[in-house]
Structure 1
Amino acid sequence: MKPSLLILIPLDDMSRARIEAEFDVVYAPDPAQQAAAIATHGQAIRAVLTNGTRGLAAAEIDGLPQLELVSALGAGYENLAVDHARSRGIALANGAGTNDHCVADHAFALLLSIVRDVPQLDLATRAGVWRDALPMRPGVCGKRLGIVGLGNIGEKIARRGAGFDMEIGYHNRQPRAGATSRYFDSALALAQWSDFLVIATPGGAGTYHLIDAQVLQALGPAGFVVNVSRGSVVDTAALAAALMAGTIAGAALDVYEGEPQPPAALLDLTNVVLTPHVGGRSPEAIAASVENFLRNAKCHFAGEPLLTPV
């Protein structure tokens, strides 16, 4: 008999079919469906598949008395009640490493897009405006790239920056062992040094509004910020004010406070590029994330250690 799995996030048909080969699936990707699914099937559920944005609350865990495994599909798990789950002896896993390259690719796509102003140039070209009537945009090669969060994704962003002959600096809570990039002990100090600031740090209380008005002021009027981590890391009101006042030159965001709705204060600004939290999504990344979940589940139900434990 296959174990029962509650899926709380949207998945494509291929991914669902792959998982359904191993689990008796209860699929409830919409918030309106989730409470009903837990109420109806909660007594039988042994595993939950979620992500960092959706998470799993303590009250929901309490509605699943047979729960023994919770996995986040991607690397993030900031909205998962980790301590409460551990107090129940529930095994916790994530998808660390499965979409790192995809997120790093997207971070650089956003950086190039906003620095070179690709969306506005596209609109101008379609309107028949030729280059002589448009302002020149700065280049990327040789500039200073500051990375907030030199984890697995941040390290891959740094490698891409090195390919553009950029000087790399980073901020973590502690220096990363073996890192060759320049370390800064605060986001403020990193911003003062950087031309471009890319946010790749985990979300959660420890990084809430880490990028605030003071950091943006330090980045300066020629600076650009890119966020591919979590919307909560950037103070949206401070960012909107900085963009409107010319405190910074531009921003490119894949994540927002209040997702899935993008911040209304940013929608009419031309010095912002917005994408709908797709940095970690590609056919390759999703397939790898699903396979990682299945491998973790196989280990767990066989009584073996998880491959990517939280």
Structure 2
Amino acid sequence: MSETRPLILVAQPHLAPLLGLLSPQYDVMPLWEDSGRARLAYAEILVTAGEFRLDPAMLEQMAALRLIACFTVGYDGVDLDWARSRGIAVSHAGDANAEDVADHAIGLILAHRRQIVTGDRQLRSGEWTAGAKMLTRSMAGAKLGIVGMGSIGMALAARAEAMRMRVGWWGPRDKPELRWPRAAGLEALARDSDVMVVAAKATESNRGMISAAICEALGPQGLLVNVARGQLVDEDSLIAALREGRLGGAALDVFENEPTPAARWADVPNVVLTPHTGGATQEAVAKMAQMLLANIAAHVAGEPLVSPVA
């Protein structure tokens, strides 16, 4: 290990482009190769995609670890209690992709509510005939319920208002400073919503919070949109509700297991699906890279992290 440059391990293969970004300033090695795994005890910094759970046994071997730097905004794969108990700092990408995820949520709502994907398929298959019109539903006046009013939720609310939707929300903590009304609870929000968007941070305490009961409350005309984490939705209950007509529709960018098997959704009606691309814009990824570099540089310099995990 270099005596002048800290050793950084990069955890997942899809983060391989970061090796070239980091190597001019630091000693960097891939954890998915034997050469990287052999240096576990010497690595001061671990770069990871925050949605992936870090192996506790591996972490215990990292005696020199002082910073877990999440390239992503999310950090639910990091055991924060474990890190704090060992004095290990954790950083993430802040709200680097919040605006893009909010855009994607609006896109999913439009795609489902205006039947854009269905229309595309009908045209391509020759089903568009003279005089035939597919009636869809307007955005104006629709009641939007947002689960989790953080950076994504607030960006979404502003966009929805511009589209003349009526906005409400629910989260475990009240935010009196917000102008949008907070529902009495999650089920109450579902009952009062035409469209419900899940934009909450995922924790073990809220796993499966979008349950069969919430699907029932949203109802046969309701649309569920998830741009947060797949684990927040009881996926089996969601699929059953869609098949049985107890839920009107779903538009999903995240799934319980990723990549989700195509066969799981082959016969599920009234769904629009995207492969976890809500925050994956060129601009957002560039911001995430900048945040990663800034957090690592601050750590190495002994300065406060730019975007620490609270």
TM-score w.r.t. the length of structure 1 is 0.93
Which secondary structure state, in structure 1, belongs to the residue aligned with residue 15 of structure 2? coil
Q: 2:49 aligns with which of 38, 48, 51?
A: 51
Amino acid in structure 1 at the alignment position of 2:28: V
Task: Name the counterpart of 1:70.
Answer: 68
| TM-fit CA distance, 1:265 | 3.4
CA 1:237 to 1:264, structure 2 compared with 1: closer, same or farther past 3 Å?
Answer: farther
What pairs up with 1:287-298 in 2 under 5 angstroms? 287-298=286-297
The 2-side partners of 1:262 and 1:161 are apart by: 31
Task: Name the counterpart of 1:42.
Answer: 40
Alpha-carbon contact 1:49-1:72 (below 8 Å) kept: yes
1:84 aligned onto 2:87: no
| TM-fit CA distance, 1:211 | 0.5
Task: Name the counterpart of 1:153.
Answer: 152
Task: Name the counterpart of 1:225.
Answer: 224
Deviations 1:19-74 (A, max 9, x none): 2222222124xxxx27x466312122111111222132322211211111002122
Aligned pairs, number = 304
| TM-fit CA distance, 1:134 | 5.4
What pairs up with 1:189-200 in 2 under 5 angstroms? 189-200=188-199
Which secondary structure state, in structure 2, belongs to the residue aligned with residue 65 of structure 1? coil
Task: Name the counterpart of 2:93.
Answer: 95
Q: CA RMSD in A?
A: 1.7
Which secondary structure state, in structure 2, belongs to the residue aligned with residue 52 of structure 1? coil
Amino acid in structure 2 at the alignment position of 1:306: L
Amino acid in structure 2 at the alignment position of 1:204: T
Task: Name the counterpart of 1:23.
Answer: 26
Tell me which moved more, 69-78 or 210-219: 69-78
Q: Percent identity?
A: 36
Which secondary structure state, in structure 1, belongs to the residue aligned with residue 69 of structure 2? strand
Q: 1:11 aligns with which of 12, 15, 23?
A: 15
Amino acid in structure 1 at the alignment position of 2:70: A
What pairs up with 1:159-170 in 2 under 5 angstroms? 159-170=158-169
Amino acid in structure 2 at the alignment position of 1:11: L
Task: Name the counterpart of 1:105.
Answer: 103
Alpha-carbon contact 1:145-1:166 (below 8 Å) kept: yes
CA 1:101 to 1:16, structure 2 compared with 1: closer, same or farther past 3 Å?
Answer: farther
1:278 aligned onto 2:277: yes
| TM-fit CA distance, 1:94 | 1.0
The 1-side partners of 2:79 and 2:35 are apart by: 19
CA 1:177 to 1:50, structure 2 compared with 1: closer, same or farther past 3 Å?
Answer: farther
- Which contiguous aligned blocks of 4+ residues in structure 1 show a shift greater than 3 angstroms? 36-39, 131-135, 262-265
Alpha-carbon contact 1:144-1:168 (below 8 Å) kept: yes
Alpha-carbon contact 1:8-1:50 (below 8 Å) kept: yes
| TM-fit CA distance, 1:8 | 1.8
CA 1:268 to 1:42, structure 2 compared with 1: closer, same or farther past 3 Å?
Answer: same
Q: Unaligned regions of 5+ residues in structure 1, if any?
A: none
The 2-side partners of 1:58 and 1:83 are apart by: 12
Task: Name the counterpart of 1:185.
Answer: 184
Alpha-carbon contact 1:240-1:265 (below 8 Å) kept: no
CA 1:118 to 1:16, structure 2 compared with 1: closer, same or farther past 3 Å?
Answer: farther
Which secondary structure state, in structure 2, belongs to the residue aligned with residue 216 of structure 1? helix
1:249 aligned onto 2:248: yes
The 1-side partners of 2:190 and 2:306 are apart by: 36
| TM-fit CA distance, 1:181 | 0.6
Q: 2:125 aligns with which of 124, 127, 132?
A: 127
Deviations 1:198-231 (A, max 9, x none): 0000112121111111111111111101101000
Amino acid in structure 2 at the alignment position of 1:130: W
The 2-side partners of 1:134 and 1:248 are apart by: 24
TM-score w.r.t. the length of structure 2 is 0.93
Alpha-carbon contact 1:75-1:97 (below 8 Å) kept: yes
Alpha-carbon contact 2:242-2:248 (below 8 Å) kept: yes
